[in-house]
Amino acid sequence: MSYPSQYKYTKEHEWVNVDEDVATIGITSFAQQQLGEVVFVELPEVGQVVGAGDEVGTIESVKAVGELYTPLSGEITETNQAVVDDPALLNDDPHGDGWLVRVRFSDSSELASLMSADEYEDYVKSSS
């Protein structure tokens, strides 16, 4: 499986794509495969202030319920309403159209705790 090299990754299987001071966050294709067919997505309110590690959403599939955590502190600036309306987007394109939230992060030092694509790939291999 290939993960976009420009993204950063968490041990909770979220990806982060940084553009200046805004991070787009979603779940990896590995997480989506573990969940199975996603049927419901609940996301936070725009404007909500979050801390790194906070739960900011719920992802339900036909076989499990998973939580979405933010790896960065900051303010939710946007949520992907298209995924809320059509959770299948998350099944089809978790690294693209299936993004979940955007956070204007307040502490760039938190980025240092994230893994590169290669590190994440090794992490997934070693944990399965």
Looking at 2.30.42.10, 2.40.50.100, 3.40.640.10, 2.40.50.140, the CATH number of the domain 8-105 comes to 2.40.50.100
Q: CA–CA separation, 85 vs 103, rounded Å?
A: 20
H/E run at residue 88: helix 88-92
Largest CA distance in the chain: 37
Q: pLDDT digits over 58-70, tens only?
A: 999 998 999 999 9
Q: What is the mean pLDDT of the chain?
A: 95
Residue 15 is predicted with a pLDDT of 97
Q: CA–CA separation, 109 vs 120, rounded Å?
A: 19
H/E run at residue 83: helix 81-85
Residue 1 is predicted with a pLDDT of 66
Sorted by where each begins, the domain ranges of the chain are 8-105
Mean pLDDT of 36-54: 96
Q: Residue 127: which pLDDT band, with cuts at 50, 70 and 90? A: confident
Q: pLDDT digits over 74-120, tens only?
A: 999 999 999 999 999 999 999 999 999 999 999 999 999 999 999 99
Q: Does pTM top 0.85 for this prediction?
A: yes
Residue 82 Cα distances to 16, 86, 93, 119, 125, angstroms = 19, 6, 12, 30, 31
Residue 6 is predicted with a pLDDT of 96
Residue 2 is predicted with a pLDDT of 79
